[in-house]
Chain A
Amino acid sequence: MKIDSTTRISVIIKHNNEAIDAIASINPHFNKLRNPILRKILAPRVSIADAARIGKCSVDELLVKLEKIGFEISSGPILKKENGLTKSNQLTEEAMNSEKKESLDVRPILESGKDPFNAIMEKLSKLQPGYILEVINSFEPTPLIKILEKKGYSTEVKDQGEIIYTYIRQIQTKKIAEGDQKKLFAVSIDEFEQEKSKFKNKLTEIDVRDLEMPLPMVTILNEIETLLPDSALFVHHKKIPQYLLPELADRNFKTWYTEIKEGNIQLLIHR
């Protein structure tokens, strides 16, 4: 069988059971592959490249081991060492300095042989807006991160050797703009002011509260058409505009909104 860095671990194990021992022999990080439940969780969601990162070894090391037990290495896609999951550390810093953080240690769940996925999702669904969830784990939860990013969360991994911290925050109200990642931000008043201050002299302010629908939407969309690339539109609105937000995302605008009080929503729209 031909394999490359994108081949899934589950496919490899299915083809040849010895692969479990071969991979596990690289270093102790891969011992969890011997646990059938963890294997079931991880293997189908992880490629060789992912595995190398989780297990802190090089892709080549893995490929060489697998070659020994009879796999053919294809010249396939050239592998990238990083796939950009852990570049920024903004979330981590915020989590360190902020009170708005909740922690979940999933190691006991893993030790009891269960999948912590549901526990994490449940905790996330109860997380208050703006809060960050810190997941404490013994390996980088690549499958979880992939799922979460699709669902509109931003994640960051901090590697502390034996313990891996994963920080998760919802970056948008997913109900409104699934798939329109990083274009919609429900934020606190402070965060909103902070974002607004970036556009000090380049802010156009409009108040659409006294307009009958659909004029608020028409007015805003008219305004953004003439908006200069580095300026922003600051809008006073009566409600979170359900029809407008997806429209803005479609047009590649970023929207920040915050609720001052009921009937008084502020929006900041920019490219």
Chain B
Amino acid sequence: MQSIASQNAPGPSVIIPHFLVGGLVLLVFTVLLFLSAESLTQHFFNPKILALTHLLVLGWITMIIFGALYQLIPVIMETKLFSELLAKISFILLTVGTLLLTLSFWNFWLGTYLIFSGCIITLSVLLFSINVLFTTRSSKIKSIEKKFIFTSTIWLGFTVLMGLILAINLSFPFLSTPHIELLKLHAHAGIVGWIIQLIIGVGSKILPMFLVAHGMNKKKLVFSYYTINSGLFVGIFSIYFSWHFILILASGVVVLGLLAFLSYLYEAYRIRVKKKLDPGMKQSFVSFFILLFPILLVLLFSFDPDLISSLSIPLSIVYGSTLMIGFITSLIMGQTYKTLPFIIWLKVYRGHVGKIKIPLPKELYNENIAIAQRWVFNSGFIIVTGGILLVQKDVIKTGCLFLILATLFYNFNLFKIIFHKPKTYAATNA
């Protein structure tokens, strides 16, 4: 194997652990969801939902995003990652912090445990942000994708700090705004400012690339960037100070930004050169379709804020679950098939490409299992959503079984990819 010192991408030992832990956390999450299905029929402010949400958002979503970003940032910004060591420490802190935080919420241990685990996660995020900040600084590329990634990191920092403040406020109340309102603020900064904004930044770069779509109109992205961030910024203040009317406006502005991005994606889809979509891309597009539902719900909520507290507690749960399971989880599962095989393929076959006949990245996983995973997952998601709306615990449990099966399929392929052993055919023109 030749030296890879000249590669911008960090060593696989930085990235792969994120995918391993992320996949296992998702499996644990679906099992716990099955065990605590009835919490989905209650108000969202309950220990089980808090534990599950944080496990999913930190241990699965953020975990995979961190791992994928360490690979993608050097490519997008055309520079080396600032520090591999910081990335490794951040990974360990995130894993430990998430497990502790989940345990604390699950058992509702307020005070020391909750605040301590919050501190560990804050530290992990701080190290990640330093890494992104310095990598961004050393890059001469000026692109809207870079802005999205950079700004999403700032929102991640804000979300985590806000979370730490909430953990303290929950144990020793000191803020006058109702805790539930602060929770909404924390959740939206995290979901929209961090996760969705990052998905837009990375997605607008890699999705057209996977579709082989040329000459995309980046103005839509610029519009999306400014509307989402200004809307979210104003929205956060409106929640804090209970400015109802301004909150409606702000939500509308954010929604416009999201629609601009979806329209950008649709354009890429229409003009794509590669007509046949593989399982990973199919699942990704289903997830963007699902995103339309929480968008509708958020408009509904902002026009009538009493909807959540009076009639429609299930709707608020559906809002969260369509966003985090239907949209984000599904998208990450789909995109795993596009990014991880390539990372492993490069690690295993680098130096041999063109010299001997080797498999392509998509041959590193079992395609039938990937297809089965998509169908089982989508069915499970529909059943769980139905169960939440009908307030039927057993329906939710049934849906969860589907989700567990889908996650088992996903983990099967994940391990198959990661532990791929070099496969060489007869030498051709070596």
Residues of A in contact with B (beta carbons under 8 Å apart): 175-180, 209-215, 217-218, 220-226, 238, 240, 242-243, 246-247, 249-250, 263
Contact = CB atoms under 8 A, between A and B. Distances in A.
B353 A247 contact: yes
A263 B215 CA distance: 7
A240 B74 CA distance: 13
B354 A214 contact: no
B6 A249 contact: yes
Contact of A180 (B6, B79, B342, B346): B6
A217 B351 CA distance: 12
Contacts of A243: 7, 9, 75, 346
B274 interface: yes
Contacts of A240: 78
A218 B354 contact: yes
25 contacts: A175-B8, A175-B78, A176-B8, A177-B6, A178-B5, A180-B6, A210-B212, A212-B210, A212-B274, A213-B342, A214-B342, A214-B361, A218-B353, A218-B354, A220-B354, A222-B353, A222-B354, A242-B8, A242-B9, A242-B75, A246-B6, A246-B7, A247-B350, A247-B351, A263-B214
A178 B80 CA distance: 11
Contacts of B350: 247
A250 B351 contact: yes
A209 B273 CA distance: 10
A4 B230 CA distance: 68
B351 A214 contact: no
Interface string B135-168: 0000000000000000000000000000000000
Given A213-B342, A242-B78, A250 B214 contact: no
A15 to B, nearest CB: 37
Interface residues of B, number: 32
Given A218-B360, A222-B354, A246 B4 contact: yes
Nearest to A125: B140
Given A175-B8, A242-B78, A250-B2, A212 B212 contact: yes
Nearest to B218: A262
Interface in B1-51: 2-9
B335 to A, nearest CB: 14
A236 to B, nearest CB: 12
Contacts of A222: 353-354
B353 A221 contact: yes
Given A212-B210, A263-B214, A225 B78 contact: no
Contact of B80 (A175, A210, A217, A225): A175
A249 B6 CA distance: 9
Nearest to B6: A246
Given A176-B78, A240-B78, A225 B429 contact: yes
A180 B4 CA distance: 11
A121 to B, nearest CB: 15
Contacts of A177: 6
Contacts of B345: 214
Contacts of A226: 429
A226 B429 CA distance: 8
B355 interface: yes
Contact of A213 (B3, B5, B209, B355): B209
A263 to B, nearest CB: 6
B6 A178 contact: yes
A211 to B, nearest CB: 7
Rank and list the top 6 A-B pairs by shortest CB-CB distance, nearest first: A221-B354, A246-B6, A222-B354, A221-B353, A210-B273, A250-B2
A240 B79 CA distance: 13
